[in-house]
Chains A and B, each alone.
Chain A
């Protein structure tokens, strides 16, 4: 057993290292700013005094490594500094929005993961039939659609008739059931986009597996098809399926940005887009760090689970 734990420990260590490297990149990106950050934000008309005062406020008079250390130390404790646009603490801005975005992502994943696994396994089982070809063509098309196209089609079809609201405005007073209803369209948009990817990848992973000699052996032992899938294919498909799920949940992170913009949903993606147009750099950095951390952690989790599902590693020689 010890070998497998060493592998997992190594993977965790690598994850921490990656997070560290990402924080450096996100921090250093602002250092690459052409010209002077303060001047580019305040505009050409600013006087020397205002620029100097602003620089002091941002701590720009200190060397980069000191500022990085302060920023990282703050970020670890949940303090990302203050927004340039409205001078509020960034942590306050992020708080509820992070929860909202997670709610939307989990909502979408809860529909998408089971749906796409079932569709993917079915497409693999009935491969090269009309069902498979049809599902494949639809999935390929869905992958090709920009998220906002899917979103507007859904609005056009489902919100026009008044079935669902086209704006997902929720706040602290919204009940859970109401939130589910109001965010149905954004969640459905994400589901459609992600399901197509996940279904295709699941199908490919299973078909790849069904070509193994041990599956043929099971067939030649006269095993019924359901048993072949459940007992022979599935235990070996765990690792690829876990990878597929993690990859697509990570993909949700990107999708959420556009979908939130379409449905005016008060989430992190919306905040990031707003801050980018206002060039509110500390906020963009904070949100980017959160998205990247979520992405890294998801991949980390998937790797660890995939390692744990490998019989060769669980039962060493």
Chain B
């Protein structure tokens, strides 16, 4: 399918955008060209700080507070948005160019019902009367496969779930039948199983109305399903652009290839533990919760020496609560935690210093996990001083050794503050702080999910190497199955506070599965552009099959 013979809808030439920082104006977008034809979907992809959102918003002639367009032209259907008056731009926004934001929950006005926010665009832009727009809303809600399309519009945003809100927002963007929609990471905040439905609904409606779209994401597998063409951005500059299949099969640039290759890391399989081996940590029949509510119900699993157990589940499944029970932050209502076969006191305040030392934790957000006012010398040195009694020269030498272990040059980094580090370096310091205690068991709570893929890859490799060198056992909390594939030896799948399935990784990725594991596994997007189509067809067939069986 060639799009190039269709007329051009949007042409951006040599766009430059600056952002205000403490050191004055700094370039965010450094001369990018972008061409979009009618009805075409362009995927914009890049890591954080690449300028994807800024460029996407510029396609609407819009810049956020603290940003300004300093050069280039944006021509939408013959109108130069840079030179146009604010009035002209306003008349285009919502009517001919619409926007779908990352967080629907924050982008819907909490004071108005969904339908009122839907009809606002068509009525103010004089495209439809209120009655027409309301009828139309129901129709679009139906096409977006929202439950109760007749009624859902009369709810307030906080009464509707995240996945449904995101679909309602796409419907709202469609309300004036725009020529172009900018999708800004519309599924990033959603769980994988919810993501599928939203992706499918967006793809269908864009195709039905032959709407052009700019689809912004950092997830390659997602963009592969949605886009006709892909443009890769890096630090405000274009790396390359090609149609989706070409880009996936034969990327030209080194950077693109590295993005594509990221998920290749797989830790080597380890021998299974002997049946009579005592696990390092055992979670035994744990039931726990906050207030009167139980969040965990009778959770059982073991973590053996030198093995990595991945605890997988969607938000609200109880993964992090399990970690809080193990560390003693949340004493369980029933059940206990065994360390080397010995029960640990349920509350961390009753544990001995030695028991505390053995269990260390690495957090998801390195930004909040490191005290921003302490230098690395003190951040990493503190556990070594506390637990091992190191002082003066010995302490300094130990800190330097730990810095070398996490591949940071000691002389350069030892006196830095966390704010002087990149995201990946901060996470490495978090690892070093955990290792300074010389623990035997480390809990990694979503340690890579806030990082770009290349950086995350480096962290996973580092953790893998350290496990062998330092005889560590890991509990890896994650919602990302690619991470599981890369690093886990054993997998525990959780849903609604219960363990639904557990076992060695190789068994887990081989059918037959528990139905929830099946759903989870099949929902992870794959790089194949036909994956979504195939999956939906399979699920349709499965449903038909089930109906026939009944």
**B393 CB-CB contact with A under 8 Å:** no
Q: Give per-residue flags for A210-228: 1 if the beta carbon is below 8 A from chain B beta carbons, else 0.
A: 0111101111111110010
Contacts A214-B106, A214-B107, A221-B121 given; indicate if A317 touches B158 (C-beta within 8 A): yes
**B284 CB-CB contact with A under 8 Å:** no
Instruction: Report the separation of the CA atoms of residues A311 and B156 in the bound assembly, to the nearest whole angstrom.
Output: 8
A219, B93: Cβ atoms closer than 8 Å: yes
Closest to B60 in A: A220
Q: Give per-residue flags for A232-243: 1 if the beta carbon is below 8 A from chain B beta carbons, else 0.
A: 100110000000
B109, A232: Cβ atoms closer than 8 Å: yes
**A312 CB-CB contact with B under 8 Å:** yes
Instruction: Report the separation of the CA atoms of residues A212 and B105 in the bound assembly, to the nearest whole angstrom.
Output: 11
> How big is the A interface, by class?
20 to 34
**B495 CB-CB contact with A under 8 Å:** no
Interface size on B, residues (CB 8 A): 30
Instruction: Report the separation of the CA atoms of residues A211 and B158 in the bound assembly, to the nearest whole angstrom.
Output: 19
B109, A236: Cβ atoms closer than 8 Å: yes
A315, B62: Cβ atoms closer than 8 Å: no
Nearest CB of chain B from residue A237's CB, rounded to whole Å: 10
Residues of B within 8 A of A221 (CB): 93-94, 98-99, 120-121, 124
Residues of A within 8 A of B93 (CB): 219-222
B92, A222: Cβ atoms closer than 8 Å: yes
**B111 CB-CB contact with A under 8 Å:** yes
Q: Pick the contact of A315: B95, B121, B156 (CB < 8 A).
A: B156
Tell me the B88-141 residues at the A interface (CB within 8 Å): 89-95, 98-99, 101, 103, 106-112, 120-121, 124-125
Tell me the A196-221 residues at the B interface (CB within 8 Å): 211-214, 216-221
Residues of A within 8 A of B90 (CB): 222-224
**B194 CB-CB contact with A under 8 Å:** no
Contacts A212-B106, A224-B90 given; indicate if A311 touches B111 (C-beta within 8 A): yes
Nearest CB of chain A from residue B314's CB, rounded to whole Å: 20
Q: Pick the contact of B64: A216, A224, A231 (CB < 8 A).
A: A216
Residues of B within 8 A of A219 (CB): 62, 93
The dominant DSSP class at the A interface is helix
Closest to A211 in B: B65
Nearest CB of chain B from residue A253's CB, rounded to whole Å: 32
Instruction: Report the separation of the CA atoms of residues A218 and B125 in the bound assembly, to the nearest whole angstrom.
Output: 13
Contacts A213-B101, A235-B112, A311-B156 given; indicate if A222 touches B107 (C-beta within 8 A): no
Q: Give per-residue flags for A280-317: 1 if the beta carbon is below 8 A from chain B beta carbons, else 0.
A: 00000000000000000000000000000001100101
A312, B107: Cβ atoms closer than 8 Å: no
Residues of A within 8 A of B65 (CB): 211
Tell me the B56-93 residues at the A interface (CB within 8 Å): 57, 60, 62, 64-65, 89-93
Q: Give per-residue flags for B152-176: 1 if the beta carbon is below 8 A from chain A beta carbons, else 0.
A: 0000101100000000000000000
Nearest CB of chain A from residue B449's CB, rounded to whole Å: 22
Instruction: Report the separation of the CA atoms of residues A221 and B123 in the bound assembly, to the nearest whole angstrom.
Output: 11
Instruction: Report the separation of the CA atoms of residues A235 and B110 in the bound assembly, to the nearest whole angstrom.
Output: 9
Instruction: Report the separation of the CA atoms of residues A216 and B121 in the bound assembly, to the nearest whole angstrom.
Output: 14
B64, A222: Cβ atoms closer than 8 Å: no
Instruction: Report the separation of the CA atoms of residues A311 and B62 in the bound assembly, to the nearest whole angstrom.
Output: 30
Instruction: Report the separation of the CA atoms of residues A15 and B368 in the bound assembly, to the nearest whole angstrom.
Output: 38
Nearest CB of chain A from residue B400's CB, rounded to whole Å: 43
Nearest CB of chain A from residue B212's CB, rounded to whole Å: 16
Nearest CB of chain A from residue B322's CB, rounded to whole Å: 27
Nearest CB of chain A from residue B380's CB, rounded to whole Å: 36
Nearest CB of chain A from residue B107's CB, rounded to whole Å: 4
Instruction: Report the separation of the CA atoms of residues A232 and B110 in the bound assembly, to the nearest whole angstrom.
Output: 9
Nearest CB of chain B from residue A279's CB, rounded to whole Å: 50
Residues of A within 8 A of B108 (CB): 214, 217
B156, A222: Cβ atoms closer than 8 Å: no
Residues of B within 8 A of A218 (CB): 109
Instruction: Report the separation of the CA atoms of residues A222 and B65 in the bound assembly, to the nearest whole angstrom.
Output: 17
B110, A220: Cβ atoms closer than 8 Å: no
Residues of A within 8 A of B125 (CB): 222
Residues of B within 8 A of A235 (CB): 109, 111-112
A216, B120: Cβ atoms closer than 8 Å: no
Instruction: Report the separation of the CA atoms of residues A104 and B162 in the bound assembly, to the nearest whole angstrom.
Output: 51
B94, A222: Cβ atoms closer than 8 Å: yes
A-B contact pairs, 21 of them (CB 8 A): A213-B106, A216-B101, A217-B101, A217-B107, A217-B108, A220-B62, A220-B94, A220-B99, A221-B93, A221-B98, A222-B89, A222-B90, A222-B93, A222-B95, A222-B121, A223-B90, A223-B120, A231-B120, A236-B109, A311-B156, A312-B158
Given A214-B106, A220-B60, A227-B124, 5 new contacts (CB under 8 A): A221-B98, A236-B109, A236-B111, A315-B156, A317-B159
Query: Which 9 pairs from chain A and chain B are nearest by CB?
Result: A222-B93, A221-B94, A222-B94, A235-B111, A220-B99, A213-B106, A214-B109, A213-B107, A217-B107
| Residues of chain A having any CB pair with chain B under 8 Å | 211-214, 216-224, 227, 231-232, 235-236, 311-312, 315, 317
